[in-house]
Amino acid sequence: MDISLVIPLFNEAESLPELTAWIEQVMKAHNYSYEILFINDGSTDGSWQVIESLQKKNPQIKGVKFRRNYGKSPALYTGFQRVQGDVVITMDADLQDSPDEIPELYRMITEEGYDLVSGWKKKRYDPLSKTIPTKIYNATARKVSGIYLHDFNCGLKAYRNEVVKNIEVYGDMHRYIPYLAKNAGYTKIGEKVVRHQARKYGKTKFGLDRFINGYLDLMTLWFFSRFGVKPMHFFGLLGSFMFALGFIAVIIVGTTKLYNMYSGNPYRLITDSPYFYLSLTAMILGTQLFLAGFIGELISRNAQDRNHYQIEKEI
Ligand code: UDP
Ligand code: MG
The larger pLDDT score, comparing residue 77 to residue 305, is at 77
Model confidence over 217-236: pLDDT tens digits?
A: 999 999 999 999 999 999 99
Averaged pLDDT for residues 267-283? 93
Q: Is 151 in the pocket of ligand 1 (CB under 6 A)?
A: no
Query: Is the pLDDT at 314 greater than 90, yes or no?
Result: yes
Q: Can you give the pLDDT at residue 253?
A: 94
Q: Can you give the pLDDT at residue 126?
A: 83
Q: How far is the CA of 204 from the centre of ligand 2 (A)?
A: 6
The confidence band for 279, taking pLDDT boundaries of 50, 70 and 90, is very high
The confidence band for 286, taking pLDDT boundaries of 50, 70 and 90, is very high
Q: Can you give the pLDDT at residue 137?
A: 93
Q: Is 70 in the pocket of ligand 1 (CB under 6 A)?
A: no
Q: Can you give the pLDDT at residue 24?
A: 98
Atom of ligand 1 nearest to the CA of 94: 15
Contact 124, 196 (CB under 8 A): yes
Q: Can you give the pLDDT at residue 106?
A: 98
Q: How far is the CA of 136 from the centre of ligand 2 (A)?
A: 19
Averaged pLDDT for residues 292-313? 92
Q: Can you give the pLDDT at residue 129?
A: 81
Q: Can you give the pLDDT at residue 25?
A: 97
Q: Can you give the pLDDT at residue 14?
A: 96
Q: Is 42 in the pocket of ligand 1 (CB under 6 A)?
A: no
Q: Whose CA is nearest to atom 17 of ligand 1?
A: 205
Model confidence over 188-228: pLDDT tens digits?
A: 999 999 999 999 999 999 988 889 999 999 999 999 999 99
Where are the strands (E) in 101-154, listed by range?
A: 116-120
Averaged pLDDT for residues 166-195? 96
Q: Can you give the pLDDT at residue 208?
A: 84
Q: Is 9 in the pocket of ligand 1 (CB under 6 A)?
A: yes
Name the burial class of residue 100, with classes exposed (0-12), middle (13-18) and buried (19+) by CB atoms within 10 angstroms of its CB. Answer: middle
Averaged pLDDT for residues 278-287? 97
Q: Is 177 in the pocket of ligand 1 (CB under 6 A)?
A: no
| Mutational pocket test of ligand 1: of 205, 209, 210, the residue with most ligand atoms within 8 Å of the beta carbon | 205
| Mutational pocket test of ligand 1: of 40, 51, 92, the residue with most ligand atoms within 8 Å of the beta carbon | 92
Model confidence over 21-78: pLDDT tens digits?
A: 999 999 999 999 999 999 999 999 999 999 999 999 999 999 999 999 999 999 999 9
Model confidence over 114-154: pLDDT tens digits?
A: 999 999 999 988 888 888 889 999 999 999 999 999 999 99
Query: 38 forms bridges with which residues in the sheet?
Result: 7, 63
Q: Phi, psi at residue 195, to the nearest 5°?
A: -80, 140
Average pLDDT across the chain, whole number: 95
Q: Can you give the pLDDT at residue 310?
A: 86
Atom of ligand 1 nearest to the CA of 204: 20
Q: Can you give the pLDDT at residue 248?
A: 97
Q: Can you give the pLDDT at residue 268?
A: 86
CB atoms within 10 A of CB 138: 17
Radius of gyration of the chain (CA): 27
Q: Where are the domains of the chain?
A: 3-227, 232-301
Q: Whose CA is nearest to atom 24 of ligand 1?
A: 204
CA–CA dist 82, 92 (Å, integer): 18
Q: Whose CA is nearest to atom 4 of ligand 1?
A: 71
Atom of ligand 1 nearest to the CA of 210: 25
Atom of ligand 1 nearest to the CA of 92: 15
Q: Whose CA is nearest to atom 7 of ligand 1?
A: 9
Q: How far is the CA of 92 from the centre of ligand 2 (A)?
A: 6
Q: Can you give the pLDDT at residue 19?
A: 97
Averaged pLDDT for residues 258-276? 92
Q: Can you give the pLDDT at residue 125?
A: 85
Q: Is 44 in the pocket of ligand 1 (CB under 6 A)?
A: no
CA–CA dist 248, 47 (Å, integer): 66
Atom of ligand 1 nearest to the CA of 75: 7
Q: Is 96 in the pocket of ligand 1 (CB under 6 A)?
A: yes
Which of the four CATH numbers 3.90.550.10, 3.40.462.40, 3.40.640.10, 3.40.50.2000 does domain 3-227 have? 3.90.550.10
* Percent of the chain clearing pLDDT 90 (strictly above): 89
- In what side-by-side order are the strands of the sheet with 116-120? 61-65, 34-40, 3-9, 87-90, 157-160, 116-120, 189-193
